[in-house]
Amino acid sequence: MDDMKKKWMGKVLSAGLITVALLGGTVPTQAAGDNNIRVALFVDIGKGYRGVVPSVTLTAEKGMEVTLTGPEGKIELPELDGDAVRYRVDEYHLVVAQTSDWNQAQQIAQLMSQKKYEGSIQVVNRGGQTLYQIVSGTYDTYQAAAAQVAAVAQATGQKPIVQGPLRLEAGQFKSLSEAQKWQEAFEQKGIAAYPVLLSNGEKVKYAVWIGDEVSQEALSSLARKASNALPNFSYSAPSSQSYVVLKQDVFGSPDEPIWKYVFSPQAKLTVEAKKADGESLLGVVERDQRTYRGEMELSEYNGHLTVVNELPMEQYLYGVVGSEMAPGWPLEALKTQAVLSRTRALWQGNKYGIANVSDTVMEQAYYGYGKESEDVREAVDETKGEAIYYQGNLVESLFYSNAGGMTADGTEVWGNPVPYLRSVESDDALPVDGVNAWYRVQLADGSIGYVRGDLIRESGTDDTGARMAVITTENTNLRLGPSTATRVLSTLPNGAEVTILSQEAEENAYAWTRGPFTSAELTAMINANQDKNKAPRIPGNVTSLKVTKRGPSGRVIAMEANGIPIKVTAPDAFRSIFSQGGTALRSTKFDVEVVKGGQFLFRGNGFGHGLGVSQYGARAMAQGGYDYQQILQHYYQDVTID
């Protein structure tokens, strides 16, 4: 399976920000079976996780079994060759360009990707010539598609046209091969034609449809052209609402195009991997080429192509626990995570209507089969069906990386108490062990940044007593923070002299720093927050930033700048005010220091909101001999685990 995954080059869709305040459940259009869960990989209902793509590409080692369900009933579709298939809803779209030159088609598609537009390459035949169409977007209406033409044209230098789902049926045939023969006849006459799989509720029927039109006028013109070219057919509007139009896309080599199932918005497709030697898995190229157990359901939902992975709950947890906690951690810690994740999944209800949860950290990370391991499966199996309850109801299962030594009380995160979540001690210091030392240094030009400790040698002090040092490696990175994950500000030559301002531990899950921020930077961040919350702005620049109130665990719950209260909707929102490089503070368990030059440095502990179970704390307890129930009942008070 690994070899097959490497064969395909996929796109990564980045989505999902950690959140604590979750949405309530909605009434599902289709609920999972009693022991199953439905996980949205791509969905957009206007809230919660919002991430969609115009098309999705599925792979399977031995091929796929596809079922079409629609107004006419449910049927199994015939098997087509190939271990990869692309799926798309039959809607309006743009054809950005059409060319017989494969290299040119590639260049246009790559340019579109650089400009943040989706562009796939469709293969068609016109008059005996192979042409490549760069297709982009999917839209409910002609007007929505047409509104994008000018922007795409400007970005690509091409002349996009809108194509649509309006077609004429030329006829129905006994087999797919016969339909393909007549498809070729129309294409020889320069007419767009496609074989179509239809459902009458009992069996598959085969047809040829012509055109990709956007209006009735265009259909009338197409009918006249087709009647002149091939007069023996009767051209009429298709009557079926349960159909798949078969097109072809380039995926890898232009010599081996793959099938593209363009399906009715009134229907849905269910895809399963055919039995393989090991696990039967489906790969999703647009989901970082991950592989999944269970089946994939594809449909149009809320105006978007929606992809839902349905599988047994316990198999889903194999992927979740391995995504949320590292395999190889103590078994009791993994069992703790299994119960937390099962509880969290059950608590969501049918959050997305068409699915219980998404695969993102909006609920909990689920990265599929690739995150499974023997110990993770053992942890899930040994806690099968168990969840956490308070007074007979499921708790809101919350977990995060590191509490910084003490978990949060509900008042410190949401501003209100939670009866089963009170602040408790947590042994979280493991990440500090063995981390690199970093120096915060100042260059001769006054710029400040961080250098890793093993790339610098102290050389004494200057006349003022400041510690001096010399860079010992060529092209040493001066970074924004004490971590290789932070932005590079500049590179320093071997022998460069710097002034040491302070020494820090490399940023880790337990301890972190942010800044230093200038007064002007802080003022801009705070005033943006004040404007958002309709609170008084800070006049002038910030000269004083103080924590005025802390909660039971020491987390910040109130602050002032120049004596003016900083308004937040909930205490945890302080994290997002003081961001650096687009990254929020790791926790609200921090202090503010004024450092050289009147700048402000944030120094904190912990990683996450702090409510519920600290994963590092659970690990330490497991290493100390506690079992998973004892761990859970330490972090959750007055609960039962059943």
Q: How far apart are alpha carbons 371 and 378 in whole angstroms?
A: 14
C-alpha pair distances (Å), 239 with each of 19, 70, 500: 46, 13, 77
Q: What is the mean pLDDT of the chain?
A: 92
**pLDDT at 28 > cutoff 50:** no
For position 4, what pLDDT does the model report?
A: 36
Report the share of the chain in percent with pLDDT over 70.
95
For position 483, what pLDDT does the model report?
A: 86
For position 32, what pLDDT does the model report?
A: 54
Terminal alpha carbon distance of the chain: 37
For position 516, what pLDDT does the model report?
A: 85
Closest C-alpha among 25, 32, 15 to residue 361: 15
For position 253, what pLDDT does the model report?
A: 87
Q: Average pLDDT of 320-340?
A: 97
Model confidence band, residue 34 (pLDDT cutoffs 50, 70, 90):
low
Q: Average pLDDT of 543-570?
A: 97
- Asked which of 171-180, 236-245, 444-453, 522-531 is least confident by mean pLDDT, the reply is 444-453
pLDDT tens per residue across span 67-110: 999 999 999 999 998 999 999 999 999 999 999 999 999 999 99
Model confidence band, residue 480 (pLDDT cutoffs 50, 70, 90):
confident
For position 24, what pLDDT does the model report?
A: 31
Tell me the DSSP string of 45-65.
SSSSS-B--SEEEEE-TT-EE
| Secondary structure in 3-state letters for 525-591 | HHHHHHHHCCCCCCCCCCCCEEEEEECCCCCEEEEEECCEECCCCCHHHHHHHCCECCECCCCCCEE
Superfamily of domain 92-163: Sporulation related repeat (3.30.70.1070)
**pLDDT at 640 > cutoff 60:** yes
For position 18, what pLDDT does the model report?
A: 28
Q: Average pLDDT of 236-259?
A: 94
pLDDT tens per residue across span 385-402: 999 999 999 999 999 999
**pLDDT at 600 > cutoff 50:** yes
Predicted TM-score (pTM) of the model is 0.88
For position 486, what pLDDT does the model report?
A: 82
Model confidence band, residue 7 (pLDDT cutoffs 50, 70, 90):
very low
Domain ranges of the chain: 50-91+166-310, 92-163, 314-428+611-641, 436-505, 511-605
Q: Average pLDDT of 600-622?
A: 96
Q: Average pLDDT of 357-369?
A: 97
**pLDDT at 320 > cutoff 50:** yes
- Asked which of 9-13, 160-164, 183-187 is least confident by mean pLDDT, the reply is 9-13
| Helix and strand element counts for the chain (H, E) | 14, 38
